[in-house]
Amino acid sequence: MTRDLAPLLGPDGVARIADLAGSVDRHTIGRAVSAGRLLRPHRGVVALPECWDDWRTRALAAALATDGTLSHTTALAVWRVLDHEGPVHVSVPAGRRALEGRGLVVHRVRDLVADRLGPFAVTLLPRSLVDSWGVAHGRGGAARAVERARGAVIDTLRDRRVTVAQVSAEETRRPALPGRRQLRRLVRLVEQGCQSELEIWGVQEVLRGPGLPRFSHQHRVVLPSGTVYLDAAVPELRVAVELDGAAFHGSAAARERDTRRDVALAALGWVVLRFSYRRLTREPDACRREILQVCRARRALLPGT
């Protein structure tokens, strides 16, 4: 029976029962559900059991059952910003009754504007980011959700999939957004040039303090081999600070690439200071002192600085 119905349910293995009416009767569907050959996850929707572990099937089932728009972290998964975790989030117009279901969260919202990606109607990317941020920072939000929301904002701004103006406009529309102040601060740091959580940590905890110079973030330097961007730099002193994340620069090839780049920078008169994730997070004061010592020494050596 499942084999016969499978082509009718499409590549994601899910369909509205009403849409199957012209091909199979309700009694046949009911017997398949009773026998476990079909699932009925939500009212008016059936799915193939072998497809149910795929989040795309669960998302499409939720959208079909609610006639809603995928939103929040589910929309971010469709936008390929995050891997899907947790329940499926769907938004529907504020006046509509919210469907309840296991693994499903329905949000009743105003001014719902949707885009379409493949079979999915999804909220626009800036709204998906801000919606996810609000849930993560709201009551019951977990540290993991906050981490994912922050990463999504940083990645999409860094990759220019959204602009600062778009995120700011979406945030401004929501004066009661949980974590609004933190979102504004994060957007401002990314706008200033921070490209990762580690760089943000460096700016907030290491690269600020009495006596430290003003740093230029993602500073552009043209080398014979091509253009590079320094995590933080004091151009007038030709001092560069590189922040090596825990997940990067660990292979021999990466270390060799960094060494070649540092040598090329040294040939142009740059001093490159590299700090590992471990040192930055465990010894920020020591890192700050070393940067300050080098900057003072460079200022003494270079006339006119």
Break the chain into its structural domains and give their ranges: 2-58, 63-191, 198-301
Where do runs of H (alpha helix) occur along the chain? Answer: 2-5, 26-34, 55-66, 72-78, 125-137, 143-158, 164-172, 180-191, 197-205, 252-267, 277-282, 284-301
Classify domain 198-301 at the CATH superfamily level. Answer: VSR Endonuclease (3.40.960.10)
Q: Give the separation between CA 2 and CA 39, rounded to whole angstroms.
A: 11
Reported pTM: 0.76
Print pLDDT tens along the chain (305 aa). Answer: 444 778 888 889 999 999 888 788 888 888 889 989 999 999 999 999 999 999 999 999 999 999 999 999 999 999 999 999 999 999 999 887 777 778 899 999 988 999 999 999 999 999 999 999 999 999 887 889 999 999 999 999 988 999 999 999 999 999 999 999 999 999 988 887 787 887 888 888 888 888 889 999 889 999 998 899 898 899 999 999 988 764 444 456 667 888 889 999 999 999 999 988 788 888 999 999 999 999 999 998 877 66
**Residue 255 to residues 248, 250, 258, 259: CA-CA distances in angstroms?**
9, 7, 5, 6
- Coil, strand, or helix at residue 295? helix
